[in-house]
Structure 1
């Protein structure tokens, strides 16, 4: 039965990690709705490695180009003015807020932030923020236009995703849209910016699998991670095609509906907060 649950949760993770609808919220709400209980922050963090592996493979050419140029810039001055070298620094700097806050607030995140009242509210509020950002964006900047200021602001926005229900991609995309980036550019940068934070969090939580708050153990956790990789890879390809021609409105409506339903179910006692 645990393997079946793991497959279901892996599918949920793969589908929701890259869409701006919060994978952590779904991994908290749906197991509770199915009567499976909270799978735990450790399980959630570790199976996200599967979806980030999908990012690493999907964007392998971009990552290699940025990473190799950044490394060369450390020893060869002529590379330091190259955009890919700057992008390497932007990703590192943009990752610092979520890494630092994640370490400092680890206990609060795992104990208090997983409350369904909080998750329902953040789904709605950040959904509305995404909708406003998408509507008011100047929509005239591409990834090549990113600056240090942009990387800091989007990194700060990404840090909000430590609260389940916010959505890492949703928060970063929202800030990117407020800063005038095109939908595809904001989405692409959100994926790249997430790599250090998510892989780091997953590796950090590996030690919790055998004896922490994870209720499944190694076998189901690995199964869910593999499933999330396969589904996540397909989700990346679909989302980048989708946002090149369409708005985020369906995701906004879905977030608000799910958040409202969650609050109602908790208020009526159907779900335990």
Structure 2
């Protein structure tokens, strides 16, 4: 069931706390974990989930927990890159130019355009985030654009990425605020159009999730969480764990896929999802 404004309706615990149904937790955690990294639309899946099981988005505390779970997943899978960037930060402070420092700079530059866009993006999500037509259209359009970019795959590696490349990818990433676009999908698309190898473009798309997840989780937490005695800590831990596991599997699966095959399957999937959303709109 959903409450006002499409938010999940929660039921009271005996001592006055709030608790989300386990089925809702599982659905939200899997959607967050998988769609954060696969080039598909998280908005589109949330719309379908909202229709099927009556949940269109998590509570604030649960949302933070899911972001923590997915953040830990990408930090684990790319721990070598994270360690290199951590050392690179010290190298930059000393004026040394190392591979880790270069990767950190690329990530920072690719993230910068998201900061001013975030204010406008939040308003866009509030106004149009629940529009089935907007989500369905963007899901299909950007799925086709992803396919076209995959046809342009080049041979460039991340190590050859310039700061201008990173900035262009960051500007493209701003499109992720359009519901139905997919943040990882648009980063992957931009990198492929710039001539990067599919595997390297995918790796960079995963790495750009780190500052995005940190920023999103921080903003959510700053929005004000419920008093600690009203939180369902068991539910939050379950959600974070499920998001972590599903995210790790999604990252491993995508990395294995792009080493062997094209991204056509994701374009087809997005077209099917978009059509399903338009059918849902027609029947509602």
TM-score bracket, normalised by the shorter chain, equals 0.7 to 0.9
Cα RMSD over matched residues? 2.2
Corresponding residue number in structure 2 for 1:96: 112
Map of 1:90-129 to 2, 5 A cutoff?
90-129=106-145
Q: Secondary structure at the match of 2:112?
A: helix
Give the number of the structure whose alpha-carbon radius of gyration is greater: 2
Out of 21, 32, 52, the position equivalent to 2:50 is: 32
| In structure 1, distance between residues paired with 2:265 and 2:192 | 16
Taking the aligned partners of 2:135 and 2:129, their CA distance within structure 1 comes to 8
Distance 1:218 1:259, change over 3 A: farther
CA distance in 2, matches of 1:239, 1:89: 25
3-state DSSP of counterpart to 1:244: helix
Select 1:130's aligned residue among 146, 154, 162.
Answer: 146
Residues 192-244 of structure 1: CA distance to partner in whole angstroms, max 9, x if unpaired?
11210122112211244746xxxx97654443222110111121112111101
TM-score computed with the length of structure 1 as normaliser: 0.87
The question of 1:242 aligning with 2:261 is answered no
Task: Return structure 1 stretches of 4+ with deviation > 4 angstroms.
Answer: 40-46, 207-211, 216-219
Instruction: Indicate conservation of the 8 Å contact 1:210/1:217, yes or no.
Output: no
Going from structure 1 to structure 2, the CA distance change for 1:263 and 1:25 (only over 3 Å counts) comes to: same
1:227 aligns with 2:242: yes
Determine if contact 1:134/1:177 at 8 Å carries over to the other structure.
yes
Which ranges of structure 2 fall in alignment gaps of 5 or more residues? 1-19
The alignment status of 1:10 with 2:24, answered yes or no, reads: no
| Structure 2 Cα separation of the partners of residues 45 and 116 of structure 1 | 25
**What SS does the aligned partner of 2:208 have?**
helix
1:222 to 1:128, Cα distance in 2 relative to 1, 3 A = same
